[in-house]
Structure 1
Amino acid sequence: MSILTMPAVREAVDALRVSVADLHAELTRNSLVVWTAGNVSARVPGEELLVIKPSGVTYDQLTADVMVVTDFEGRLVEGSHAPSSDTAAAGYVYAHLPEVGGVVHTHSTYATAWCARREPIPCVLTMMADEFGGDIPIGPFAMIGDDSIGRGLVQTLAGTRSKAVLMGGHGPFTVGPDARAAVKTAVMLEDVARTVHVASQLGNPWRLDQADIDRLYDRYQNVYGQKGTPTS
Structure 2
Amino acid sequence: MTSTPGLAAYPSEVREEVERVRALVCDLHAELPRWGLVVWTAGNVSQRVRVPGGEDLLVIKPSGVTYDDLTPESMVVCDLEGNLVDGSRAPSSDTAAHAYVYQHMPQVGGVVHTHSTYATAWAARGEEVPCVLTMMADEFGGPIPIGPFALIGDDSIGRGIVETLRDSRSRAVLMRNHGPFTIGRDAKDAVKAAVMVEEVARTVHISRQLGEPLPIAQSDIDSLYARYQNVYGQGDSAPVNP
Interval of TM-score (by shorter of Structure 1 and Structure 2): over 0.9
Cα deviation 1:186-216 (Å, max 9, x = unaligned): 0001000000000011111122100000000
Whether 1:23 aligns to 2:28 is yes
Q: Which whole-Å CA distance do the structure 1 matches of 2:154 and 2:79 have between them?
A: 13
> For 2:97 and 2:214, how far apart are their aligned partners in 1?
34
Deviation at 1:117, TM superposition (A): 0.5
Q: Which residue of the partner structure matches residue 151 of structure 1?
A: 159
Normalising by structure 2, we get a TM-score of 0.93
Q: 1:172 aligns to what?
A: 180
Q: C-alpha displacement at 1:16, in angstroms?
A: 0.5
* Counterparts of 1:200 and 1:229, CA distance in 2: 33
**Map of 2:217 onto structure 1:** 209
Contact 2:228 2:237 in 1 (8 A): no
CA distance in structure 2 between the aligned counterparts of 1:207 and 1:179, rounded to whole angstroms:
31
2:128 aligned to which of 104, 120, 135: 120
Aligned to 1:59: 67
Q: Distance in 2 between matches of 1:12 and 1:19?
A: 10
Work out whether residues 6 and 85 of structure 2, in 8 Å CA contact, stay in contact via their aligned partners in 1. Answer: no
Q: 2:171 aligns with which of 163, 176, 182?
A: 163
Which of these residues, 67, 85, 97, is aligned with residue 89 of structure 1? Answer: 97
In structure 2, distance between residues paired with 1:87 and 1:3? 18
Matched residue type, 1:7: S
**Cα RMSD between the aligned structures?**
1.3
Unmatched 5+ residue regions in structure 2?
A: none
1:42 is aligned, of 43, 47, 70, to: 47
1:184 to 192, 196, 210: 192
* Superposed counterparts of 1:213-228, under 5 Å: 213-226=221-234, 228=235
Q: Could you tell me how far 1:129 is from its partner in structure 2?
A: 0.1
For 1:145 and 1:49, the matched residues in 2 are separated by 19
SS at 2:170 equivalent: coil
TM-score by length of 1: 0.97
Q: Percent identity?
A: 69
Partner SS, residue 69 of structure 1: strand
Q: Where does residue 118 of structure 2 map in the other structure?
A: 110
The CA deviation string for residues 162-192 of structure 1, in whole angstroms up to 9 with x for no partner, is 0000000000000001000000000001000
- Paired AA for residue 167 in structure 2: G
Residue 72 of structure 1, CA deviation: 1.2
Q: In the aligned structure 2, how far is the partner of 1:16 from the partner of 1:68? A: 11
Note the residue ranges of structure 1 that are not aligned, 5 or more in a row. none
Q: Is the 8 A contact 1:141 1:169 kept in 2?
A: yes
Alignment of 1:74-85 (within 5 A): 74-85=82-93
Indicate the SS of the match to 2:136.
helix
Q: What letter is aligned with 1:178? A: D
Q: Distance in 1 between matches of 2:88 and 2:157?
A: 25
